[in-house]
C-alpha cells in the first residue's frame, strides 16, 4: 500500500494515477470524499481527513510501505509557518508511530537555505524533522518553479491587459510542470530505490524567464504583443490580499520573490538528464493555460 497526501492536488493526483495504472495499491488522502471519487473509480482507497490531524494521518499510514508527503498550501492562513508546522508535525508523529520505511516529500529549490525564502523555510523545517526519523528512507524532491503558478495570470491579463508579478523579467527559472513531479514521485515510490535521507532537485524541461514565457503565452492566446511587468511589492501585496490571501502569506511570497530575484534562492545542481523533466512550457500553455484563459479549464 502506498499513501498519497494531497491526492486531489497538482502533483498528488498524478502520482496516485500513475501508481494505480501500474497496478499498485494506493490510499488517497484529502478532505473531501467527492474530490477523491475519481481516484476511487480508478481503484484507490479513499481516506478523508485533515493533514493537520495526527490521529487521522496515523490511520492513513497504517499498513503502508511508502508515502507521498506534502504540506498543502493554505493561502489564507493568518500564520503560514504555524500551519506548515502543524501539517509537518502531524505527518512526522504519524510516521514515527507507523512502520513505514519509505517517503517522498515534495520540497522546493531553496530548501537548503535557513531563511529569507518565504514558505520554503517551512519545507526545510519539514525536511529537518524527517531527518530525525532514523528508520525512514526519505527522498526530498526539491522542485523548481511550478508552471501552474501562471494559472493566476488569466485574471491579471483580463484586468490589466498584461502579465504581472514580482519576478524580474529576465530571471531564468527552472520551470516545471506539476504533472512531471507527480510522475517522478510515483516512479520513486514504486521503485523505493533510495536509502537514508537525500535531496534531489527537479528542474523542469528547461530554464526560462518571464519575458520568454509571456511571449509563448501571448502567441498561444492570440495576443502576440502581450507584455510582462514586474510590479512593486506594495502594489502586489494589495492585489494579493484583495484576492483573499492573508497578509502573512503575501509577505512570505514577496520575500521568496526577492530571494529569487537576488539569486540567493537558486538550484544547487547543474542541469542533467536526471533532474530534467519532459513537459515543455509550450505544452503546459496548450494543455493547461489556454483552457484556463478561455474558461474551459482549471479555475483561476
Burial class (CB in 10 A: 0-12, 13-18, 19+), 253: buried
Whether the CB-CB separation of 108 and 129 falls below 8 Å is answered with no
Asked if residue 269 binds ligand NAP (CB under 6 A), the reply is: no
Q: Other C-beta atoms within 10 Å of 132: how many?
A: 10
Q: Residue 115, SS3? A: coil
The verdict on 71 binding ligand NAP (CB under 6 A) reads yes
CA dihedral 144, 150, 151, 156 (to 10 degrees): 150
Within 153-297, residue ranges assigned H as helices are 153-160, 178-191, 210-220, 233-242, 247-262, 281-284, 290-293
Q: Which residue in the set 21, 22, 32, 63 belongs to the binding site for ligand NAP (CB under 6 A)?
A: 32
Q: How far is the CB of 170 from ligand NAP (least distance, A)?
A: 19
**Cβ contact 71:122 at 8 Å:** yes
246 binds ligand NAP (CB under 6 A): no
DSSP at 101: -
- Figure out which of the listed residues 21, 22, 31, 78 binds ligand NAP, where binding follows CB under 6 A: 31
- Binding to ligand NAP by residue 8, rule CB under 6 A? yes
Which one of the spans 17-25, 27-35, 150-158, 193-201 is the region binding ligand NAP (CB under 6 A)? Answer: 27-35
165 sits near ligand NAP (criterion: CB under 6 A): no
User: Is residue 38 close enough to count as binding ligand NAP by CB under 6 A?
Assistant: no
CB of 126 to ligand NAP, least distance (A): 9
**Residue of the chain from 52, 179, 205, 259 that contacts ligand NAP (CB under 6 A):** 52
What crossing angle do the helices spanning 12-21 and 178-191 adopt, rounded to 10°?
50
Min separation Cβ 284 and ligand NAP, Å: 13
State in Å, rounded, how far the first CA of the chain is from the last one.
34
**Nine cell digits for residue 13:** 493526483
Of the residues 67, 121, 139, 143, which one makes contact with ligand NAP according to CB under 6 A:
143
Give 8 or 279: the residue with its C-beta nearer to ligand NAP.
8
Among the candidate windows 9-17, 156-164, 203-211, 225-233, which touches ligand NAP by CB under 6 A? 9-17
Selection from 54, 39, 288 nearest residue 186 by Cα? 39
**Interaction of residue 35 with ligand NAP, rule CB under 6 A:** yes
Q: Which residues contact ligand NAP (rule: CB under 6 A)?
A: 6, 8-12, 30-32, 35, 50-52, 70-73, 106, 108, 119, 123, 143, 145-146, 149, 178
Amino acid at each position: 500500500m502506498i499513501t498519497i497526501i494531497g491526492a486531489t492536488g497538482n502533483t498528488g493526483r498524478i502520482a496516485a494515477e500513475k501508481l494505480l495504472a501500474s497496478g499498485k495499491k494506493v490510499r488517497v488522502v484529502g478532505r473531501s470524499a467527492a474530490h477523491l471519487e475519481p481516484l476511487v473509480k480508478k481503484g484507490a482507497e479513499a481516506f478523508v481527513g485533515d493533514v493537520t490531524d495526527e490521529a487521522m494521518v496515523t490511520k492513513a499510514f497504517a499498513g503502508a510501505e511508502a508515502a507521498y508527503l506534502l504540506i498543502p498550501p493554505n493561502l489564507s492562513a493568518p500564520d503560514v509557518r504555524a500551519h506548515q508546522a502543524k501539517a509537518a508535525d502531524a505527518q512526522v508523529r504519524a510516521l514515527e508511530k507507523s512502520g513505514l520505511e519509505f517517503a517522498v516529500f515534495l520540497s522546493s529549490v531553496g530548501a537548503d537555505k535557513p531563511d529569507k525564502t518565504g514558505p520554503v523555510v517551512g519545507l526545510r523545517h519539514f525536511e529537518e524533522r524527517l531527518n530525525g526519523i532514523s528508520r525512514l528512507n526519505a527522498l526530498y524532491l526539491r522542485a523548481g518553479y511550478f508552471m501552474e503558478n501562471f494559472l493566476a495570470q488569466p485574471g491579471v491579463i483580463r484586468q490589466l491587459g498584461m502579465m504581472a508579478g514580482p519576478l524580474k523579467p529576465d530571471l531564468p527559472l527552472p520551470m516545471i510542470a506539476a504533472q512531471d513531479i507527480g510522475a517522478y514521485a510515483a516512479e520513486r515510490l514504486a521503485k523505493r530505490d533510495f536509502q537514508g535521507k537525500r535531496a534531489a532537485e527537479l528542474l523542469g524541461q528547461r530554464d526560462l524567464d518571464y519575458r520568454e514565457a509571456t511571449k509563448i503565452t501571448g502567441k498561444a492566446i492570440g495576443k502576440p504583443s502581450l507584455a510582462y511587468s514586474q510590479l512593486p511589492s506594495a502594489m502586489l501585496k494589495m492585489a494579493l490580499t484583495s484576492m483573499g490571501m492573508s497578509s502573512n502569506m503575501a509577505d512570505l511570497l514577496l520575500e521568496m520573490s526577492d530571494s529569487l530575484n537576488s539569486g540567493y534562492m537558486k538550484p544547487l545542481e547543474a542541469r542533467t538528464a536526471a533532474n530534467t523533466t519532459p513537459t515543455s512550457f509550450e505544452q503546459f500553455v496548450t494543455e493547461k493555460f489556454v483552457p484556463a484563459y478561455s474558461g474551459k479549464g482549471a479555475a483561476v
